[in-house]
Chains A and B, each alone.
Chain A
Amino acid sequence: MRYERPETIVQATHLLAEADSNAFVLAGGTDLLVKMQSDGFEADLVVDIKSIAGMGDVVEADDTFVIGAGVPCAALGENDALVAAWPGVVEAANLIGSTQIQGRCTVVGNLCNASPAADSVPALVAAGAKAKIAGLGGTRMADVLDIPTGPGKTSLKKGEIVEAIVLDKPLARSGDAYLRFIPRTEMDIAVVGVGINLVLDEGGAVQSARIALGAVGPTVILAEDAAQALVGSKLEETALDVMAAACSAASHPIDDKRGTVEFRKQIAGVLARRAARIAFDRAGGN
């Protein structure tokens, strides 16, 4: 196995582009290193991107936050401005693994590992986050929603690296939240995850909503019908009922070791209802 630690993103993309097969990007390593311990896994090339300038930074500009691909999730929780702006995104990132894992794992890694149960992804999708992607031909932007294409699969082309997540500064009267269900209290993997971002109008009713569901399909699901059900409401019970039912309907889970279809569909509605109340509260709704 070859280990490379390039110092520029251009070198990194070239290394990946020129690799024959079994090439992996190493950031926090909390997924990759675990995989490498199993007898069936083979890596020919590992490209460690943590020495590339900027990868470890959270940059706050006038309109955006840019989170580098090497930023550990724990660092997000220590960035007061980010916590104030996108508390749901930060909460999701700080649910991954354990305290020790959070010191290494990254949201970009969480996204590119493409697990349907990734915690940070529904929160990012609800927040309308974009991915900044470096490749041989330069840099492009893509919606986070469009990165995962199936379990373990992404839309990234050979040689491409997600170098940062870009979050717009939140609009006035907005709030986000993420909740997941796990059978234990921590150190577990989402059976269902729900990210919600609400923007209220001046009258305190929901003006626009984004609801993203995790672990109930092969990729994160943007539940547009469910979001629509909240628009114009102040989270009255009827609106929440319609929204919860729409979340259940949008869920297409499978029966597996982590839960049944029936359970997951039901929980998607329950969590969406609870997350909506938190987001509404954060947006200043009452």
Chain B
Amino acid sequence: MSFDAAFQNQNFKSVGTRPLRPDGVDKVTGRARYGADFNMPGQLVARVLRSPHAHARIVAIDTARAAAVKGVKAVITAADLPDLSNGDKALFNILDNCMARTKAMYDGHAVAAVAAIDEKAAKQAMKLIDVEYEVLPHVVDVDAATEPDAPILNDAVFTTGIDPAPTTASNVANRSEFGHGDVEAGFADADVIVERSYRTEQTHQGYIEPHACVASCNPDGTADLWVCTQGHFVFRQNCADLLGLEVSKLRVTSSEIGGGFGGKTHVWAEPVALALSRKAGRPVKLVMSRDEVFRASGPTSATSIDVKIGATKDGKITAATATLRYSNGPYADIWAELGAMTSFACYDLKNVKTVGFEVLVNRPKVAAYRAPSAPMAAFAVESAIDELAQKIGMDALDLRIRNAASEGTRSSYGPVYGPIGIGPTLEAAQAHPHMTAPLGTNQGRGMACGFWFNFGGQTCTDLNVNADGTVTLAVGTVDVGGSRASLSLVAAEELGIDYQDVKAVVADTGTLGYNDMTDGSRGTFSSSMATISAARNAIAVMRQRAALTWDIPVEDVYWEDGHAKAAGAKYGNLAPLSVKEIAAESGNTGGPIAGHSELVADGAGVSFATHICDVEVDPETGATSVIRYTVIQDAGKAVHPAYVEGQYQGGAAQGIGWALNEEYIYGEDGRLQNPGFLDYRIPVCSDLPMIDTQILEIPNPNHPYGVRGVGETSIVPPLAAIANAVSNAVGVRMSHIPMSPPRILAALSRQKGE
């Protein structure tokens, strides 16, 4: 049945209300089952041995002594994960990252793993694995890695995207470029130009739940994986590819998830656990420690960014450029490219050019982190905009409104925008009382805008109408932020039944068709589209059942307010049939009632936000408190407003931590100095103000309800908003994130000439 995804304006009954989430009680009472809460009979405990060196050739590994320890059932190295990548570089990189093959590329890189009957035996065996390393020179800094004398991580990497192709190996894996117009001509037209370099340090997603899984390779060639992930179908594909399994033989079940933020879109431990189970012939549980999570999973890029923006005296931007260097860890990816695409996406620019460089360093492989790469680019660009406004003598908000993109604008990364929310969020900021609230001593205000693409992707959903008229909704997108509640609202809306009568579950890979993972803010956008489609298919079935019951043509049965109704006067005496009534008779009218949907959710509407932030800086210590924070963001349509607000607040909270204190700190030896929450400082509750939110609803034309993804954009503006606020509070432009107290105090001392 064809499905029309176009936006149709309507009045909602369920969508837009705020019921409790179905998973809430279990989560607050501790009953919810996370990755480490699953157990199997006879399961073994796994431990991973990790490189203490930032860069080292693995000369030899001898596992004989470890394997001889009583209770040890399997010891594996890269030899137990043979290379099946068949020329697929991306797959090879995943494999090499899961278990180092010839070289350890960073402190924490896995080199071997053990499965034993208990922790004690596993720990003892770890100490008896003999690894002979040839320590190599390393480089962890994004700028140092591009210097001519930097140690080369991979002799086979030659910078792509450059013509002519280089003939010497480089740590710069790729150059990408975006933009249009003539920036030189644009700068020539400018009255005022701001040019500055910025740096951001590497941060971790900081999910509270460490990676955890239980893997079981069975004697019949099938395998099961229970895992904390953002995308069990993608994990199934990756693991099957790496282990040489048929996809259908590996069944992956996703657990509840204690935070992912992009960090659980990549496999690390899972192929290792499967390989251990395959070798041991028993189920294996692998739970990463916090130290391992920091050293070997997650982080986002460290960056070094140069921005130049020119404008006329009256505030029209004439040209803008950005050069962005993003650390990738040891494997080439597209992180700088994403930064280059998003840099100037908020603005309508005649002349714009951005260039991204992917830089390889001896740090863990960079993983997606909530609107990956956009926050750092926004920090640089929005800081420059703030400075530009000050130089022109114009209000920074007016300058942004003057140059904001709108429907029909050709974006800096290529596409022409449809209806978008940047202008409305700026106007809402202008009208917001926060903008005019008085500031006290040592306080400053900053604002910034942010953009994220959003994503749709492959989606498959089943909706089953049970005999009692309740509905089970099986979705394949992992619930990372309340999507089971939102999708239940959507099913209730379409069917015309109560929210309480819908139970949404996340189905495993054996029971539902393929779904892309919950990333790109797609969970509620794409699965709500599929849920609407599945519900409408179920309604078609229920209309048929009603027609059969009444013995009238199905064309004469229509659906309204949760009931099948007979059309026209000729059936005037027929009472409408409710879902419950139709379901109760389903055994006699054709059997179970269900609606299925499979689709590619195209047209995820781009997302914009504007944030306002007040800070107070202690000039004697450099300590910053965020005293007021406001998030204004376009949701398209907020299906469950409370959870939309939660996403807005969560992104802002993570951004505040990133802006002020979070950073990976490496020693001279290339080892991570702070792999724990004591010295990797995410904000605690008392570090944050109550974060105010304002939801704007500019309908996405490509979704029946107008929904846009909301999960990621909220982390894009905070770095810049806070940096602008701090800069305005202390009178010094802060161009290095995080703005930790030592950095602020050093900047103040420099200003005083001390």
Q: Which residue of B lies closest to A274 (CB)?
A: B620
Q: Is the beta-carbon distance between A257 and B684 smaller than 8 angstroms? A: no
Q: List 5 A-B contacts (CB under 8 A).
A: A184-B661, A184-B686, A258-B679, A260-B742, A267-B745
Considering the chains assembled together, what is the distance between the CA atoms of A191 and B745 in angstroms?
14
Q: Is the beta-carbon distance between A186 and B684 smaller than 8 angstroms? A: yes
Q: Is the beta-carbon distance between B686 and A185 smaller than 8 angstroms? A: yes
Q: Is the beta-carbon distance between A181 and B674 smaller than 8 angstroms? A: no
Q: At the interface, is chain A mostly helix, strand, loop or mixed?
A: loop
Bin chain A's interface residue count.
20 to 34
Q: Is the beta-carbon distance between A263 and B742 smaller than 8 angstroms? A: yes
For the complex, is B350 an interface residue (Cβ under 8 Å from A)?
no
Q: Looking at the assembled complex, report how far the CB atom of A25 sits from the nearest CB atom of chain B, in whole angstroms.
A: 22
Q: Is the beta-carbon distance between B745 and A263 smaller than 8 angstroms? A: yes
For the complex, is A259 an interface residue (Cβ under 8 Å from B)?
yes
Taking CB atoms and an 8 Å cut-off, the chain B residues in 636-670 that contact chain A are 660-661, 665
What are the residues of chain A within 8 A of B123 when measuring CB–CB? 39
Q: Which residue of A lies closest to B657 (CB)?
A: A184
Encode contact with A along B604-638: 1 for CB under 8 Å, 0 otherwise.
Answer: 00000000000000001111010000000000000
Considering the chains assembled together, what is the distance between the CA atoms of A72 and B214 in angstroms?
39
Encode contact with B along A231-270: 1 for CB under 8 Å, 0 otherwise.
Answer: 0000000000000000000000000111110110011001
Q: Which residue of A lies closest to B666 (CB)?
A: A257
Which of B660, B684, B742 has the most C-beta atoms of chain A within 10 angstroms of its own C-beta? B742
Taking CB atoms and an 8 Å cut-off, the chain A residues in 11-57 that contact chain B are 37-39
Q: Looking at the assembled complex, report how far the CB atom of B752 sits from the nearest CB atom of chain A, in whole angstroms.
A: 12
Q: Which residue of B lies closest to A262 (CB)?
A: B746
What are the residues of chain B within 8 A of A137 when measuring CB–CB? none
Q: Is the beta-carbon distance between B681 and A188 smaller than 8 angstroms? A: yes
- Known pairs A189-B678, A263-B746, A270-B621; A184 contacts B687 (CB<8 A): yes
Chain B interface (Cβ < 8 Å from any Cβ of A): 47, 123, 126, 289, 291, 620-623, 625, 660-661, 665, 673-674, 678-679, 681, 683-684, 686-687, 740-742, 745-746, 749
Q: Which residue of B lies closest to A189 (CB)?
A: B678
What are the residues of chain B within 8 A of A37 when measuring CB–CB? 289
Q: Is the beta-carbon distance between A257 and B665 smaller than 8 angstroms? A: yes
Q: Looking at the assembled complex, report how far the CB atom of A175 sits from the nearest CB atom of chain B, in whole angstroms.
A: 22
Q: Is the beta-carbon distance between B620 and A270 smaller than 8 angstroms? A: yes
Known: A38-B289, A184-B661, A188-B681. 13 other contacts (CB 8 A): A37-B289, A181-B623, A181-B741, A183-B623, A183-B661, A183-B740, A184-B684, A185-B625, A186-B684, A188-B678, A257-B679, A266-B745, A267-B621
**List of 3 A-B pairs having minimum Cβ-Cβ separation, nearest first:** A263-B742, A185-B686, A257-B673
Q: Is the beta-carbon distance between B47 and A39 smaller than 8 angstroms? A: yes
Considering the chains assembled together, what is the distance between the CA atoms of A181 and B621 in angstroms?
8
Considering the chains assembled together, what is the distance between the CA atoms of A176 and B673 in angstroms?
35
For the complex, is A59 an interface residue (Cβ under 8 Å from B)?
no
Q: Looking at the assembled complex, report how far the CB atom of B349 sits from the nearest CB atom of chain A, in whole angstroms.
A: 38
What are the residues of chain B within 8 A of A81 when measuring CB–CB? none
Q: Which residue of B lies closest to A258 (CB)?
A: B679
Contact of B686 among A38, A186, A263, A267 (CB under 8 A): A186
Considering the chains assembled together, what is the distance between the CA atoms of A267 and B744 in angstroms?
13
What are the residues of chain A within 8 A of B679 when measuring CB–CB? 189, 257-258
Considering the chains assembled together, what is the distance between the CA atoms of A258 and B749 in angstroms?
19
Q: Looking at the assembled complex, report how far the CB atom of B25 sits from the nearest CB atom of chain A, in whole angstroms.
A: 23
